[in-house]
Amino acid sequence: MALGEGSTLLTLVLMILYFVVLLGIGVWASKKIKNSEDYILAGRNLGFWLFTLLIVCSICSGMTLIGTSEFGFKSGWPGIWEQIFVPLAASFCIIFFGSKLNKIGKKEGCMTVADYFALRYENNRELRALSAFASIVVSLIYLVGQYTAISVVLMWAFGLEHWQALLIAGVIITAYTVIGGLYAVSWTGLVQGLILIFGVLLVAPFIISYAGGMTAINDVLASIDPNLVMPWFETNYAAYAYCTPEYLVSFGIMLMVGLACAPHVLSNVFAAKKASYFKWSPLVAFGIYVVIMFLVKISGFAVRALAETGALGAEASAAVMANPSSALLYGIQAASPTILITALFAVIVLAAVMSTTDRLMLTIGTDFSWNIFKTMLRPKATERQVVRISQICVFLAAAISLILAINPP
């Protein structure tokens, strides 16, 4: 699957502009870095909107557009609960961890979660090393999935080979993350967050409308299986009928608590400038994210209806039924009224995925440079050395994850 010639050219132009903006932010951010705290935590100087959108964008990932639409395509309304659980993760992180860790971080100089653990349990080596190692491993695994999602988009837009798409994405993201640290990640996150928010608000209605609106979509889903328009499946009677009450309870806890505790999400709370942000940030983050998630999930419903009725065309319908992860891509390609919307959509998906990818890479660099190199291997290391080691680790994290994405173990 690839776009037509006109769409491909326009998409290329928009992506080049998008990448130039990201790299420009990275260069600008590099001039603000004077020490390791600037590189790792943006000087603990993130304003309300930068901090809030950084939390949202750190969670977003390929799951928000690629995964959520696939989930909706396969499971229908019983999977709608995901749209509450995931946004709650952002709120849970800010409410239960944010104010405490931010206050302790400023008072005690903690820059990572491992710093807090070492302080809390008076164990500066073993516990710190274990925490850093776990964070690096988890982030690397997560990172492989994000690069794969980026590859899916670039292959769709330009018909590239998998390795070519991965290499392009890796070079761009690594460049601005290495040179700009969290300043670059947070400001690019602001740009990417705005693209994601307004992009989903723009394109989702086209897909839903093209499928005939909610009534028509629900009628098609009900004709496939009446339980696809129910709040949950009573029993797991088919491969797609896994959203039973028992599953949803455990799934909800896993998403809400698990994502809130993810290293690349939790670390952001140290960077907020003021503790007063934690009063309204949970509500704002939840409100933004829940709207995005609902629109994407319902778009997944719409593409399922289009595929079942053959409205996508025989070839596309068969392809999306075989590979539901491409549901949103096929949906916008069919429903878009102009090639501009199709081209914009490619940038929107990239924004969602890259906003998490860069934060994961920086988390890996921070965990090694600060928690292992500075604290355990070379306590007398200078600020410049810590930043340089972090930059090297970001590069290595990108290289390792790209290799794993190209050749999955």
The end-to-end CA distance of the chain, in Å, is 26
Which amino acid makes up residue 178? V
Q: What's the gap between Cα 198 and its chain centre?
A: 16
What integer pLDDT is reported at residue 286 of this predicted model? 95
pLDDT at position 342, please?
72
- pLDDT given at position 7: 63
| DSSP 8-class letter at 286 | H
Residue whose entry in the numeric block shows the structure tokens 């995931």: 86
Q: List, in order, residues 6 or more apart from 12 with CB less than 8 Å away.
A: 157, 158
Distance CA 288, CA 283 (A): 9
Residue type, 210: Y
The total domain count for the chain is: 1
**Per-residue confidence (pLDDT) for residue 290, from 0 to 100:** 93
- Which residues span the domain enclosing 301? 5-406
pLDDT of residue 175: 84
| Tokens matching residue 129 | 């090393």
The two tokens of residue 38 are 């600037």
Count the neighbouring beta carbons within 10 Å of the beta carbon of residue 239.
7
Beta-carbon neighbour count of residue 254 at 10 Å? 12
Is the Cβ–Cβ distance between 152 and 160 less than 8 Å? Answer: no
What pTM, to 2 d.p., does this model score?
Answer: 0.85
Amino acid 222: pLDDT: 95
CA torsion sign for 106, 107, 109, 114 is negative
Determine the Cα–Cα distance for residues 71 and 59; give it in Å rounded to an integer: 17
Q: What is the pLDDT along the chain (409 residues), one digit of tens a residue?
A: 555 555 677 777 888 888 888 888 888 888 888 888 888 888 888 899 999 998 988 888 777 788 888 999 999 999 999 889 999 999 999 999 988 899 999 999 888 888 888 888 877 778 888 888 888 888 888 888 888 877 877 777 777 788 888 888 888 888 888 888 888 888 888 888 888 888 888 889 999 999 999 999 999 999 999 999 999 999 988 888 999 999 999 999 998 998 898 888 888 899 999 989 999 999 999 999 999 999 999 999 999 999 999 888 888 888 889 888 888 888 888 887 677 777 777 788 778 777 788 888 888 988 898 888 888 888 888 888 988 998 899 889 888 888 888 876 5
Q: In residues, how long is the chain? A: 409
Kindly state the DSSP code that residue 271 receives in the 8-state scheme. G
How distant is the alpha carbon of residue 316 from its chain centre? 27
List the Cα angle 386/387/388 in 5-degree steps: 90
- How far is 371 from 364, CA to CA, in rounded Å? 10
CA distance 370 to 317: 50
Residue 166 in tokens: 């991965």
Nearest Cα to Cα of residue 262 among 86, 384, 394? 86
The DSSP letter of residue 211 is: T
What lies within 8 Å, CB to CB, of 16 at 6+ separation is none
Could you tell me the CATH number of the domain that includes residue 36? 1.20.1730.10
For 140, other C-beta atoms within 10 Å of its C-beta total: 17
